[in-house]
A and B are shown apart, each in its own frame.
Chain A
Amino acid sequence: MGGRAGSVGLAGLFGAEPDRVWALAGQYGARLGPALRSLASVGGGAGAGLGVRSAPWGLSWGCPRRSPSPRSVSAGVAGGGGGGGSNDFQWCFSQVKGAIDEDVAEADIISTVEFNYSGDLLATGDKGGRVVIFQREQENKSRPHSRGEYNVYSTFQSHEPEFDYLKSLEIEEKINKIRWLPQQNAAHFLLSTNDKTIKLWKISERDKRAEGYNLKDEDGRLRDPFRITSLRVPILKPMDLMVEASPRRIFANAHTYHINSISVNSDHETYLSADDLRINLWHLEITDRSFNIVDIKPANMEELTEVITAAEFHPHHCNVFVYSSSKGTIRLCDMRSSALCDRHSKFFEEPEDPSSRSFFSEIISSISDVKFSHSGRYMMTRDYLSVKVWDLNMENRPVETYQVHEYLRSKLCSLYENDCIFDKFECCWNGSDSAIMTGSYNNFFRMFDRNTRRDITLEASRESSKPRAILKPRKVCTGGKRKKDEISVDSLDFNKKILHTAWHPTENIIAVAATNNLYIFQDKIN
């Protein structure tokens, strides 16, 4: 069933024209989503006709991979300002979490943000080693237009500061990464890591408790056995919901250098952890062994010129993973080829543009994040000034390059001097892989629509934090006359950096970490 035929069919169900279906879909996403999913599963072809791409965690009905017409809704990114037409939607403020204080405690700085597979849970880790999980409230039937809010579900101390006595070094408790495991039962599992140790946490709910024990009374005091005259069976009584987090596995002592990435495999049994020079493969059940699959440490450390900066498993092929380097290259490895994947299967590198060469060329080419698309066909890399989308079948150059903040290219020396040039920005895909998002300075973050090639700059600030307030696009003035509402490059606050962002796996909800605050934005519903 082709795209058009299917959409006509489904539109026929709604009694509307095909383009109108998309407009409706964009605006009433939350309500139509489940409906469309069930239609797709029953009708089979209807879902395919919509261009729905299946994903392990459920159908992602987002926007089609190729827009049927230029006017159709691109569910991935906001249109610009006012004149976009009714089909374009806009981002608006939903919530902000965190203290309002100007004085930011170091421990409260958010260091990682991650939605789980369903998008109902949102986890953040901070420099103080704490993990805070937010859960999306079930939608209120009486207020169908308001989306569910995210409220605190669980908070726990994942990592404590440690002291390595052998090297006389303190190991930071900062959470570098959190990765969720797919849900298999009522409990939720996630992996969290600091520089040296990875922990598997189980988050479970308890809403019943047993009453009527024989050996203890209601206060918990032990009864004297001789006083028990009759036996009873304890009964379960409801109680206030309690969410408990307990560490189920601790994977330690496998990394000499600082862990920068963890990635759960599509087999849901193994995961990888990567530090500056090595990548290890773990089984989730086994904590006392890990396999080293990549080792780029030279025999003589003086010959070291390159480190590993990020690594990720392919979303569908459990034998494939990629790792990026500080030289701007990405290597794709197949674990079937050999036990030690020092020799890559594919090597991705874009030849340098000689006209833009500077002293800092190598530093800004260092890749800070690599993410596969949900489809598994593309991957995205973030270096200091740009985001690049690579087709896994083409190694010699990216298929798309997006400039995040090109106006910083003329400021590289100053940024090098104050170490900002080493900031590691992350990037993320939306659920349908039609849009990508990454952060910048001055609490700005950028979104790029891959289909329409439009981009937008938004700001996470308290000023635009009124409920359901539409975010105004921002613009940086690069030279010449500064227009009203534009901000000049020299006025940017380089201490306000957005390094961590996350996009809901199926809906247009984004989480943006701005220092110690977590902003949640949603698309606007009429």
Chain B
Amino acid sequence: MLGRGLKRKLSDYEENMAGLSSAFDSSRNLPYPLKRQLVLNMCLTKLQTYKMLVEPNLHRSVLIANTVRQIQEEMRQESSQQPINVCSGIAPNPHSYPGIDSSGISLHLPSGSSQQESNCCNSWFAEGPIENSLLMVSDDDMSSAISSILKDLDFMEDISPPTALVPAGDDELLKSPENTCLKLEDDRQDLKGAECVFGSFEISNSTSYLKDLAIDDIFEDIDTSMYDSDFCSPLLMAPRPPAAATEETLKTFPSCNSSSTNNIQICRTDLSELDHIMEILVGS
């Protein structure tokens, strides 16, 4: 193992990752897609960590994002060469792929049916415990990494079909086999997610703070129990910091159809009036 010098406390995740990167370096039997997946996981985790820093290192972020792009490009080329054989990483079978992919990054396996998927998965797991831990360890962290990157997608101008945005932990959407064909779009989303890491490097860094702050959060402390809108109360009451997730939730509600956007604007207009009224009442 590397590094004798200073001791540091490793979280479980870090310990797993350290073991995995050693496995990457020393093992020749590790299949290439698995290696690629490991590197991709590490990259996204690092990007996630950097985003949480007050001032991320631009040089490192660029290098990591380029690596992510390169891997995604490779995956995209592979999938475009084998369109039929793309196996959904979102396996309906709960016994296969406990790890990878509620978030849209998927492994490629040369199989077309779910039955074969299971077989392939089993053969994968036959590789050994290291590969198992690889698949299993990064689930939650990957999801959170991707979801935070997806959060930034809120600010991208590109509009994608709502079903392509996969909220973390929402299993209902994942079970749909139609999601297989959306994997490519997921990749593009992640790619854009990686790219828009740099959005926060703009000169006015303070605007990243403003971007993260959803407009709805501003109104969260306003008591809206008197306000009788069916559309907006779930929006306001839901304690969901990511604006993207909030928007998505809104979109998936049956009561909020294509006019949901208008409803939101109506809500906001009314809320600003309410705010104004409150100010007068409070006399501030």
Complex Cα gap A305–B66 (Å): 7
Nearest A residue to B3 by beta-carbon distance? A494
Residue A303 is within 8 A (CB to CB) of chain B in the complex: yes
Q: Evaluate contact between B195 and A166: CB separation under 8 angstroms.
A: no
Interface residue B99 (Cβ < 8 Å from any Cβ of A): no
Residues of A within 8 A of B209 (CB): 168
Q: Is the CB of B199 within 8 A of A302?
A: yes
Contact A257 B25 (CB under 8 A): no
| B205 on interface, CB distance cutoff 8 Å | yes
B71/A490 in contact, CB under 8 A:
no
Chain B interface residue bracket vs A:
35 or more
Q: Which B51-89 residues have a C-beta within 8 angstroms of A? A: 54-55, 57-60, 62-67, 70-71
Q: A417 near B196 (CB under 8 angstroms)?
A: no
Tell me the chain A residues, 196-221 only, with Cβ under 8 Å from chain B. Answer: none
Point out the residues of chain B lying under 8 angstroms from A416, CB to CB.
Answer: 21, 39, 42
| A359–B198 touching, CB < 8 Å | no
Query: Is A422 part of the contact surface with B, judged by Cβ < 8 Å?
Result: yes
- Report which of B3, B39, B199 forms a contact with A495, defined as CB distance below 8 A: B3
- Report yes or no: B206 in contact with A166, Cβ–Cβ below 8 A: yes
A494 vs B67: C-alpha distance when bound (angstroms): 23
Which positions 456-498 of chain A face chain B at CB distance < 8 Å? 490-496
A473-526 interface with B by 8 A CB criterion: 490-496
Q: Are B36 and A168 in contact (CB under 8 A)?
A: no
The distance in angstroms between the C-alpha atoms of A412 and B22, with both chains bound, is 9
Kindly provide the distance from the CB of B245 to the nearest chain A CB, expressed in whole angstroms: 22
On whether the beta carbons of A276 and B3 are closer than 8 Å, the reply is no
Instruction: Kindly identify which residue among B35, B55, B57, B201 contacts A359, using a CB–CB cutoff of 8 Å.
Output: B35
Interface string of A66-94 (1 = CB under 8 A from B): 00000000000000000000000000000
Is B281's beta carbon under 8 Å from chain A? no
**Which of B62, B192, B206 contacts A304 (CB under 8 A)?**
B62
Complex contacts, A411 vs chain B, CB 8 Å: 2, 25
Contacts known (A276-B58, A302-B198); A362 close to B25, Cβ less than 8 A: no
One digit per residue, 1 when the CB lies within 8 angstroms of any chain A CB and 0 when it does not, for chain B 204-225 equals: 0110010000000000000000
Residues from chain B with a CB closer than 8 A to the CB of A277 are 58
The chain A residue sitting closest to B62, CB to CB, is A307
Do B5 and A493 touch (CB < 8 A)?
yes
Task: Determine whether the beta carbon of A414 is less than 8 Å from that of B198.
Answer: no
B1, B4, B199: which contacts A301 (Cβ < 8 A)? B199
The interface residues of chain A lying within 8 Å CB-to-CB of B203 are 256
CB-contacts of A313-370 with B (<8 A): 326, 359-360, 362-363, 366
Asked if A362 contacts B6 (CB within 8 A), the reply is no
Q: Are A167 and B205 in contact (CB under 8 A)?
A: yes
Instruction: Give bound CA distance, A304 to B42, whole Å.
Output: 21
Complex alpha-carbon distance, A491 and B63, angstroms: 28
The verdict on B202 contacting chain A, using a C-beta distance below 8 Å, is yes
Inter-chain contacts of B65 with A (CB < 8 A): 305
- Name A398-424 residues within 8 Å CB distance of B: 410-420, 422
A169 and B205 contacting across the interface, CB-CB below 8 Å: yes
> Contacts A301-B199, A360-B67 hold; do A490 and B62 have CB atoms under 8 A apart?
no
Q: Which residue of A lies closest to B22 (CB)?
A: A414
Q: Decide: B55 and A414 in contact? CB cutoff 8 A.
A: no
Q: Are B54 and A169 in contact (CB under 8 A)?
A: yes
Given contacts A326-B62, A362-B70, A363-B67, contact A168 B206 (CB under 8 A): yes
Pairs A-B, 6 closest by C-beta atoms: A495-B5, A302-B195, A413-B24, A301-B198, A417-B21, A413-B21
27 contacts between A and B (CB under 8 A): A166-B206, A167-B55, A168-B206, A301-B202, A302-B195, A302-B196, A305-B66, A309-B59, A359-B36, A359-B67, A363-B67, A366-B63, A410-B25, A411-B25, A412-B25, A413-B21, A414-B24, A416-B39, A417-B17, A417-B42, A418-B18, A419-B60, A490-B1, A490-B2, A493-B3, A494-B5, A495-B3
Known: A301-B199, A302-B199. 11 other contacts (CB 8 A): A276-B59, A306-B62, A359-B70, A360-B39, A366-B59, A413-B39, A416-B39, A418-B3, A422-B59, A490-B1, A495-B6
User: What is A's interface to B at a CB cutoff of 8 Å?
Assistant: 166-170, 256-258, 276-277, 301-307, 309, 326, 359-360, 362-363, 366, 410-420, 422, 490-496
